[in-house]
Amino acid sequence: MISGIGVVDKGKILTDFRYDVKLTHSEVLLSHIDKLLKAVKVELQELDGISISLGPGSFTGLRIGLATAKGICFASGKPLVGVSTLDALAFMARGCKYPVVPIIDAKKYQIYAAVYDAGGEGIRRRSPYLAVELSELIKKIPQEVAFTGPGIEKFRPQLTKAMGRGAHFLRGEKTLPSGAAVAFLGWEKLKKEKPENLFSLEPIYVRKSEAELKFKNV
């Protein structure tokens, strides 16, 4: 699974680091954060706040990321803001002339997705966050869209078959999770809103976890 960490300064990207390792997030996340801050010569106390991707995505990865961010904020007194993973993926496609649909493989024959307008410098979400089968998503989106996100390669054949020339696909780094995008959106959010409540902030799961479903059926 690809993860990212980024640092921005007043909207300017200082660094955007992506990594894909066999170890769990809990084993590498803090060390990567420390190395990244040293690389850009920024001390933790110099930061205005911490921004964290809330999902949807891997339930375990989201919990580890949020717990780490909360721990840093508790220890440093820095404010925390949460950003949707789908929002951050759509942000990478800003300026696109088509509606943008980021997709993430949700397993169990479903995908996480949402529809955005991204024609200007920012993005505007036009739909709820979705956890649906691919056939259902196609019914909910415009006839011509640009797909992005880490799920597009897996679902490209089905999307192309169903939508023909109406399906456009972003390529390269624009389709991958970006820590800098999360940082930028968090910086914008922090200017307009109060920080998150560290005690009540939860990931955006969109659908129930396997544990919750099993508990419900007991």
In the DSSP assignment, the letter for residue 27 is H
Task: Identify any residues that bridge with 116 across adjacent strands, giving them in sequence order.
Answer: 100, 125
Q: Which of 46, 68, 57 is nearest to 150 (CA)?
A: 57
Task: Pull the structure tokens for residue 105.
Answer: 């493989």
To which CATH superfamily is domain 93-175 assigned? ATPase, nucleotide binding domain (3.30.420.40)
Same fold for the pair 3-85+178-217 and 93-175? yes
Comparing CA positions, the residue from 122, 58, 120 lying closest to residue 88 is 122
pLDDT of residue 27: 72
Q: Read out DSSP for 144-206?
A: SEEEESTTHHHHHHHHHHHHGGGEEE--GGGGS--HHHHHHHHHHHHHHSPPPPTTT-----S
Closest C-alpha among 73, 72, 58, 88 to residue 30: 72
Q: Where are the domains of the chain?
A: 3-85+178-217, 93-175
pLDDT band at 23 (very low <50, low <70, confident <90, very high): low
The per-residue pLDDT for range 191-217, each reduced to its tens digit, is 999 999 999 999 999 987 554 444 455
| Residues 121-139: tens digit of each pLDDT | 789 999 999 999 999 999 9
Multiple choice CATH, 3-85+178-217, 3.20.20.220, 3.90.1150.10, 3.60.15.10, 3.30.420.40: 3.30.420.40
pLDDT band at 22 (very low <50, low <70, confident <90, very high): low
What is the per-residue pLDDT across 105-123, written as a single tens digit (0 to 9) for each? 999 899 999 999 998 878 9
